[in-house]
């Protein structure tokens, strides 16, 4: 069931959207902002709020890689695996993150602090290799720089 805040925010979104289908991605983001991820129940609730089928909402939810369909950690680390990042050291960065966090891609650390996910592009090829933690972009990564960044988030 959608919370009152979620219902209100989705209603405001719909009020400013010509077609309810166009509101689906942002409605899912609203739910995710409140809950951290989007469950099957939440998909059905969003569908009901928008007058759409659960399948239609689910097809949007599964299309966007920044809509999380299972629980994630407090901080989500997106590691760019584009061609540009591969050329300048993606594998080294990926392997260092896996080693430091003790998880594979797609997993969450035991303490629930970080979820490590690949992403096909972060649009910062000039800063490659790059990663994003929550909404913060980090470029020109090295193992030492990653250790500094992770230390700051763990504080």
Structural domains in the chain plus CATH codes: 4-63 (1.10.10), 75-154 (3.40.30.10)
The string over 116-153, giving b where at least 16 C-beta atoms fall within 10 Å of a residue's C-beta and e elsewhere, is bbebeebebbebbbbbbbeeeebbebeeeebeebbeee
- pTM for the model stands at 0.87
What's the confidence (pLDDT) of residue 65? 87
pLDDT number for residue 117: 97
Band (1; pLDDT cuts 50, 70, 90) = very high
Using an 8 Å Cβ cutoff, are 138 and 149 in contact? yes
For 40-73, what is each residue's pLDDT tens digit?
A: 999 999 999 999 999 999 999 999 989 999 999 9
What would the mean pLDDT of 145-150 be, rounded to a whole number?
98
User: Quick check: 129 pLDDT over 90?
Assistant: yes
pLDDT at 114: 98
Provide CB contacts within 8 A for 74, sequence distance 6+.
Answer: 112, 113, 114
| pLDDT tens, position by position, 80-124 | 999 999 999 999 999 999 999 999 999 999 999 999 999 999 999
């Amino acid at each position: 069931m959608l919370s009152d805040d979620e219902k209100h925010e989705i209603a405001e979104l719909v009020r400013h959207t010509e077609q309810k289908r166009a509101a689906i991605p942002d409605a899912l983001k609203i739910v995710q902002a409140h809950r951290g991820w989007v469950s099957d129940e939440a998909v059905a609730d969003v569908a009901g709020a928008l007058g759409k089928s659960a399948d239609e909402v689910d097809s949007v939810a599964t299309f966007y890689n920044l809509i999380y369909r299972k629980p994630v950690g407090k901080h989500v680390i997106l590691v760019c695996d584009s061609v540009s990042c591969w050329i300048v050291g993606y594998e080294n960065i990926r392997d260092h993150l896996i080693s430091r966090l003790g998880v594979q891609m797609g997993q969450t650390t035991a303490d629930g602090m970080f979820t490590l996910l690949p992403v096909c592009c972060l649009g910062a090829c000039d800063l490659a290799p790059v990663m994003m933690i929550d909404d913060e972009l980090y470029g020109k990564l090295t193992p030492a720089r990653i250790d500094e960044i992770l230390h700051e988030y763990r504080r």
